[in-house]
Chain A
Amino acid sequence: MKQSKLNKMPLKEGVFIYGFIIVFMVLVLVPFTVLVSSSLSSTVSIRANGARPWIQDFSTDAYRIVFMYPAEMLKSYLVSIIVTVAGTFINVILVATSAFAISRPQFRGKRIVSFYYSFTVMFQAGFIPNYIWFRNYLNIFNTYWVLILTPAFMVGHLILLRAFYSGLPESLYEAVKIDGANEFTIFFKIATPLIIPGIATVCFYSVLTYWNDPFTAMLYTDDFIPVALYLTRITQYIEFLKYAQQNGFSGVDFNNLTIPEDTIVYAIAIATTAPMLCIFVVFQKYFVRGLTTGAVKG
């Protein structure tokens, strides 16, 4: 349908719209191209000329350091995948059920509950109390659980989903209730399917949060190293290499090695974002659908 409309569009308008889209696409693509090309350039040329959207003096030094220990790298990808999948699932279940409950007008305690949630955004316990809580009381220190549960309830997502649920008409629920549905049926069969775009958005943000979080693992585990932490340590390793080179330490053959200190950040960015890009392709259609659904229903 869209296709036919565009075909009917006058030439002038078409040029304008396509031109705008192309310009916008270039604006978005150029930084990404710079990222890819810089990660494949040599650090000397980057230092001399700055980052450019084309590859200067091709070199894979940065990737060689990032993938120095392939087994470790794969293990950390695995940790990240497990944590992200399980975490996102738990996050969505928790947030969706809570959001649904506090969106219902007949729920009496909803003000207090909402306040309780928003209170945790403003006042947080901080590292030490959390550490004691996880290690001495919950006994989840240095397990997958601490990585999954620590960021599991995100209040921002709750607010987003509550808005989605509140947008659904109460009369819809009443009609289903007359047909004999209970609250669970309403939640799973009626309300949630109608706000799939909202759920998808929350899923996407949740995946990002889990994937890009090095701190939980650094503070609360010893042996579970997700990709984000692994790559943070690579940057420290570069600092360490620089120091070793300055002081003439042994261990690495420094004579022919230029430490890829400037290009390593680009390679790290690629190593973290590449899996995210694949996920975005999967989620993308829901985003588009989300926009159109909103428009049609009004």
Chain B
Amino acid sequence: MKPEKILSLFLVFTLCFTALIGCRQKINDLPMDFEDDGKPYELVYYLIYNDANPPQDLVTVQNELSKVLKKKINSTIKLQAYTLAEYTSKLSGVIAAGVKFDVCFTSPDINPYITNVQREAFYPLDNLLPEYAPETWEQIPSQIWEQTRVNGHIYGSVNEQIFPRTYSFNARSALNIKDFLSEKYGGVSTDEIYTLGIDAFAFLEEYLGWLKANDRGNGGKVYYVDTASSMLAYYGFDDLGTGMVTPGAVRITDGSHEVVNQFESQEYKNLLNVFYDWKAKGYLDDSVSSFDLTPDSTWKPGYLSGNLLRLSEPHYFTSYVIGSMNAISSTSGNPARAMKFIELLRTDEEVHNILQFGVEEVHYIKDPEKPNRIGAFLPGSGYDNKNFGWGLGCEFISYLLPEQEDNQWELVKEINDNTPISDIIGFNFDASAVKQKIADCKAVVNEYLVAFEKAQFKNKDEKYAEFINRLKVAGADDIIREKQRQLNEFLAAKA
């Protein structure tokens, strides 16, 4: 055979093989209702573990939890823990191979929600939720349930944590933020600084200047600001669930529901000027890879020693309200039982805290004076998922950590309840019509964004014009038009 012939034969084979891989059993016809037969069942739960190494002592936790679940829902449990960094890749394999399991964690970026729904990896929860998890169904506001809907169905059970996000800055403890605040602002706390009504960037500039003048922080040398585009959130842009790197965002402050290109906005131009100004003053040092001062959206009240500078009012963003969910696998043998387990995760203190802290006396000791506060963690105990309360079901039933204030969960609940839910919550952008254009735009944005934010371009204005132009060529306007059309439809349907 000639090499060309062999080559073409091989191509045919590979194509056939790839096509076969694409075929999975269709599960569209999964029954929406599932009757729980009440027989003993072993649940399989892919736990996300918030540390660098998987836990050494998972077995003790698994046995203890099985004992509790046996009593409550006649089930035992098999746990498999993967770290935050590895969870997505591990689960994508598990799901692709059709491994039998019941419950897993999902969010827009970790074990991506929409992708997995499209792969038909998750079981629809519309009927299971009211029947087997009534408290969860009742307590989460209906707008937030709307946000989880894909093609009209709910595939994820929302975990209760802090829903509205607050623009804030994370200052390394080495940067002595507290000294700065006591010297210049009469010792207001990092949580209160926003109440003074000063502009965040003016404040940050003053702080950076103070650091430089006083030679504080790492030898007075390194003030790296990892700016990222999340800074736009401070100006009140909601990216409509596609991430800030995709053009098309809505200003939440003026209530106009007009989708604009956030990179063309005056706010973004101002931001660039700020960066170039900081660079000229020597506050930005892009030769350093570790971040000393970073924007952050995980602020929540009630930490005794926080270094997070709160700089804005909390707000409900479409991408963040579904930031943490539990989903039931479409391979589950008993979705109803899995739903009951998710309900327990959310409402049962015992179940939740075993998964978060392990077993009492084995992995931690309680505070002798307060029943729902951790006294100490036993060193080398082999299980400690303490920083993952936000991903297990309901953070409000977690035991308190030593550094948390007694009323932290009341404070968080207050923010959840008192922040008005933005009227675009519940809007889900269907990107299928402009998929290619989004990919093209992302490529362009990634090419320019970092260099802009580190103020690396010498001819900034020229590059900026070029950037906007290339975005237009890549189809930014079409994406914006599509977003606007769908948003208008959503608002019209709601009215």
A18 at the interface (CB under 8 A from B): no
Task: Count A/B pairs, Cβ under 8 Å.
Answer: 102
State whether A244 touches B387 (Cβ < 8 A).
yes
**CA separation between A221 and B304, bound complex, in Å?**
40
State whether A246 touches B303 (Cβ < 8 A).
no
Min C-beta distance of A13 to chain B, whole Å: 45
Min C-beta distance of A160 to chain B, whole Å: 23
Min C-beta distance of B447 to chain A, whole Å: 25
What's the tally of chain A residues with a CB closer than 8 Å to chain B? 40
Nearest-neighbor residue (CB-CB) of B3 within chain A:
A115
Which A residues touch B56, using CB under 8 A? 69, 72
State whether B6 touches A115 (Cβ < 8 A).
yes
A128 at the interface (CB under 8 A from B): yes
Cross-chain contact of B83 among A47, A236, A250 (Cβ < 8 A): A236
Which A residues touch B10, using CB under 8 A? 119
Residues 295-316 of B contacting A (Cβ, < 8 Å): 303-308
Nearest-neighbor residue (CB-CB) of A254 within chain B:
B173
Which B residues touch A244, using CB under 8 A? 387
State whether A234 touches B52 (Cβ < 8 A).
yes
Min C-beta distance of B13 to chain A, whole Å: 10
Cross-chain contact of A237 among B51, B82, B401 (Cβ < 8 A): B51
Cross-chain contact of B52 among A123, A236, A251, A262 (Cβ < 8 A): A236
Given A48-B218, A129-B21, the answer on whether A246 and B89 have CB atoms closer than 8 Å is no
Cross-chain contact of A248 among B86, B290, B306 (Cβ < 8 A): B306
A135 at the interface (CB under 8 A from B): yes
State whether A135 touches B93 (Cβ < 8 A).
yes
Min C-beta distance of A131 to chain B, whole Å: 4
Residues 50-97 of B contacting A (Cβ, < 8 Å): 50-54, 56, 80, 82-83, 85-86, 89-90, 92-93, 96-97
B222 at the interface (CB under 8 A from A): yes
B453 at the interface (CB under 8 A from A): no
B170 at the interface (CB under 8 A from A): yes
Given A218-B89, A233-B53, A234-B52, the answer on whether A132 and B83 have CB atoms closer than 8 Å is no
Nearest-neighbor residue (CB-CB) of B85 within chain A:
A236
Cross-chain contact of A247 among B51, B85, B90, B308 (Cβ < 8 A): B308
Residues 111-131 of A contacting B (Cβ, < 8 Å): 111-112, 115, 119, 123, 127-129, 131
State whether B92 touches A128 (Cβ < 8 A).
yes
Nearest-neighbor residue (CB-CB) of A130 within chain B:
B93
Residues 259-307 of B contacting A (Cβ, < 8 Å): 290, 303-307
Q: Please list the 6 inter-chain residue pairs (A to B) with the smallest Cβ-Cβ separation, ordered nearest first.
A: A237-B52, A131-B93, A248-B305, A236-B52, A128-B96, A135-B97
Give me 17 other A-B pairs in contact (C-beta within 8 A), A48-B218, A111-B3, A132-B96 excluded: A47-B222, A112-B1, A127-B92, A131-B97, A135-B99, A136-B97, A220-B93, A234-B52, A236-B52, A239-B52, A240-B50, A246-B172, A247-B307, A247-B308, A248-B173, A248-B303, A250-B401
